[in-house]
Chain A
Amino acid sequence: MTPLTETGSLGSSGALVAAILIGFAFGWFLERGGLGSAPKLAGQFYVTDLTVFKVMFSALVTAMLGAFWLDRLGVLRLDLVYLPETFVVPQALGGVLFGADFLVAGLCPGTSCVAAAAGRRDGLGVMIGMLIGVWLFNLTFDRIASMYSATPLGAVRLTDLAGVTPGVGVAVVTALALAGFAVANRIERRRA
């Protein structure tokens, strides 16, 4: 029965070892997929290289289908998988900031670590900026605390909001992703 960390099968030290191994694998595949390159990532915004879109949606669909079927087959207890709470306004603002950073730096937090590990100075720069941002956030937290916890919706899923079952949600998102892949490939071929 999984998740192994929540059912205690791994133990606390086992969970730490698993986290390191999964983190290493995640970074490795991001780098091998070319996502440690800022120009490649920035290509997303100029619609010249849609690798990011395809990689992220592939990961999303794989995880979603895997989680759904493993739960249905009794292998995974989805209710034990932590579902982050939704805070509409602060998360929308965070999204705008994140997108702006992505456009300016060409890297997000994960890919900046990958780029830095691969010896790229721009990745190191973004990582330093990120750490300064974390420090400033903590310094100013008292002033922004009310905004930080504004408009809470709790741990909601899109399917809860749409009033459909999880399976229908999985089918719709997968269909959108497959259609997106086809459109992305066509756009890239035209631009090539």
Chain B
Amino acid sequence: MNRLHVALAIVAAFAAAAAGVIDRGSVDRSHPGARAAAIEFISAPDLAQRIMSGDRDLRVFDLRTPDAFAQFHVPGAHRATAASLAGEPLAPQTQVVVYADARQTIVEALQALEKRNHRDVLVLREGLYEWLSRVQEPRLASSPTPEERAEFERAAEMSRFFGGVPRAGVPRDEVPQGYWTGLPRSEALLMDAAVKSVAAIRRRGC
């Protein structure tokens, strides 16, 4: 082992020991890095339940383009941009939920809210795609498992509340997939499916 290797090993050992020491207790939420790690998601069914229960402390913001918002949005959501969120009147007890088409947009919105010290923010995990798949337009495959049927029945109730049309007995490959079915996330697939779903709703005249 030459001297350079020894020197690098010593540097690594010091950096690791310091990491262990500064992080030995519980995570410090006031730290910028820790604060960033504390970003939380909300699932579409959980958001739907809160909207259905008339939660007054909830504000949902759609960060997509005005055209996309006009086509379809989560019921009760307000159209916003990262810049407009900076000046949006928000009560301290308000919990904000945001969704967008692009991750970058979400990041900018979170930064804008963080700047004004509003940290009670949730991100709709897979955006409108998840909302359409699990709340607005749930689908049940033919020959479903008991778990799939139970999940569909819960979703169908929410779908009818929001004016959607739950569909049962569809081919399995037409059932939307996502983290909730254990499949890895695919941004391209999710966005493609979301666009198709919105187009389908438009064709039906909703």
Give A contacts to B, CB under 8 Å: 6-8, 61-62, 65, 68-69, 71-74, 76-80, 84-85, 87, 149-150, 152, 154, 165-168, 170-175, 177-178, 181, 185
Contact = CB atoms under 8 A, between A and B. Distances in A.
A152 B182 contact: yes
Nearest to B22: A167
B206 interface: no
Interface centre among B13, B15, B25, B104 (most CB of A within 10 A): B15
B53 interface: no
Contact of A6 (B24, B27, B39, B104): B104
| Interface residues on chain B, size class | 20 to 34
A171 B16 contact: yes
21 contacts: A8-B108, A61-B12, A65-B19, A72-B19, A74-B33, A78-B33, A79-B36, A79-B37, A80-B103, A85-B179, A85-B184, A85-B185, A165-B27, A167-B20, A168-B20, A170-B16, A171-B17, A173-B16, A174-B13, A178-B13, A185-B1
Given A85-B179, A170-B19, A71 B33 contact: yes
A171 B39 contact: no
Nearest to B13: A178
B22 A168 contact: no
B150 interface: no
B108 to A, nearest CB: 8
B23 interface: yes
A174 B25 contact: no
Contacts of B182: 87, 149-150, 152
A16 B192 CA distance: 21
Contacts of B184: 84-85
Nearest to B183: A149
The 10 closest A-B pairs by CB, nearest first: A167-B23, A171-B20, A174-B16, A8-B104, A152-B182, A71-B33, A167-B19, A149-B182, A170-B19, A74-B32
Contact of B19 (A79, A84, A87, A171): A171
Contacts of B13: 174-175, 178
B26 A165 contact: yes
Contacts of B107: 6-8, 77, 80
Interface of B: 1, 5, 9, 12-13, 15-17, 19-27, 31-33, 36-37, 39, 103-104, 107-108, 179, 181-185
Contact of A154 (B31, B104, B108, B179): B179
Nearest to A66: B15
B183 to A, nearest CB: 5
A65 B31 contact: no
A69 B22 CA distance: 11
A16 to B, nearest CB: 15
Contacts of A185: 1
A24 to B, nearest CB: 24
A6 B17 CA distance: 30
Contacts of B21: 167
B24 A168 contact: yes
A69 B39 contact: no
Contacts of A173: 16
Nearest to B102: A8
A165 B23 contact: yes
Contact of B16 (A150, A165, A175): A175
Contact of A78 (B19, B37, B181): B37
A170 B20 contact: yes
Contacts of B26: 165
